[in-house]
Structure 1
Amino acid sequence: MSTTVKDLNKWANAHTYFTLDLLRIALGVFLFFKGITFITNIQYLVDLISPIDKIGGGMFLIHYIAPAHMIGGIMIVFGLLTRWAIISQLPILIGAVIVNFMGELHTQNLIIAFLTLSLCVFFLFYGSGKHSADYFFKMQR
């Protein structure tokens, strides 16, 4: 497993581009502000997860989604433990895509959730790139 991550990091560092770093930063900023939106408007979040609230764990989801977006977004912006931050986002984003099919279909929300999920999957494999805290700390060894 660690050789696979090392190979992915070597490939990503050899093929790093400033635009990909800006895209990673934009993804992190988007997730951070989405977390702020959820905290400042809890009813909006409650309404979003209402189709799956029948399954249970609604209160857990409310207390997981906003902080995970905020903390994960900051970590993604700085490129600090990027893959771990993205792994914490994946269940939320997969749930966001599924919720659109379980409840009333909101095309705009579905597109945003799918694009964000796609970017997260990309950066899960790509990593944080050369202009990141992960790369900086790795070079300090």
Structure 2
Amino acid sequence: METVKSLNKWANAHTYYSLDILRIIVGVFLFWKGVSFLTNTEYYNQLSEPIKNLGGGMLIVHYVVAAHMMGGIMIIVGLLTRWAIAAQLPILLGAFLVNFIGEMNVGNMILSFLLFVICVFFLFYGSGKHSADYYFKMQQ
């Protein structure tokens, strides 16, 4: 708990609008990807083909859509950002690995790796000073 508090203090002292914009862009992208998976089921089924035979394959499919949509909204507004990011990390790691199991798509592989790295950064950085987390903390 003390580590999170010290990370928040450091992040609030080193806050920049560009990082807030990056956080919002990541949230919008993840939300859009969740909506895209929900509306374009054939494309999503094609992407998730390598994991269909694994135990809990359908659970993974439903988790990805829900985590992207809800996590994206939470990341956009900066509400429980670290928890929302933590829910995205296994999905992004899986997206990276699916490119090795199934058909290799270099563009998707680079995008998933880049998003993974950005999310790891925000896992430590948090939501920053311009967020709902900071607002609610100041209201206490």
Match of 1:122 in 2: 121
Match of 1:107 in 2: 106
1:69 aligned onto 2:68:
yes
Unaligned runs of 5+ in 2: none
1:3-38 per-position Cα deviation (integer Å, ceiling 9, x unaligned): 100010000000000000000000000000000000
What is the CA–CA distance in structure 1 between the aligned matches of 2:43 and 2:57, rounded to whole Å? 13
**CA RMSD for the aligned pairs?**
0.8
What is the CA–CA distance in structure 2 between the aligned matches of 1:28 and 1:125, rounded to whole Å? 16
1:112-133 per-position Cα deviation (integer Å, ceiling 9, x unaligned): 1111111110100000000000
SS at match of 2:111: helix
**Counterpart residue type for residue 130 of structure 2:** H
TM-score, scaled to structure 2: 0.97
Match of 1:137 in 2: 136
Deviates more, 1:67-76 or 1:48-57: 48-57
Runs of 4+ with >3 A deviation: none
Shift of 1:99: 0.4
SS at match of 1:54: coil
Trace 1:68-107 onto structure 2 (pairs within 5 A).
68-107=67-106
1:24 aligned onto 2:23:
yes
1:57-82 per-position Cα deviation (integer Å, ceiling 9, x unaligned): 22112211111100000000000000
Match of 2:55 in 1: 56
What is the CA–CA distance in structure 1 between the aligned matches of 2:136 and 2:54, rounded to whole Å? 42
SS at match of 2:128: coil
What is the CA–CA distance in structure 1 between the aligned matches of 2:97 and 2:51, rounded to whole Å? 9
Trace 1:27-46 onto structure 2 (pairs within 5 A).
27-46=26-45
What is the CA–CA distance in structure 1 between the aligned matches of 2:56 and 2:100, rounded to whole Å? 19
Shift of 1:54: 2.2
**Counterpart residue type for residue 26 of structure 1:** I
**Counterpart residue type for residue 41 of structure 1:** N
What is the CA–CA distance in structure 2 between the aligned matches of 1:61 and 1:55, rounded to whole Å? 10
What is the CA–CA distance in structure 1 between the aligned matches of 2:72 and 2:36, rounded to whole Å? 13
Aligned residues: 140
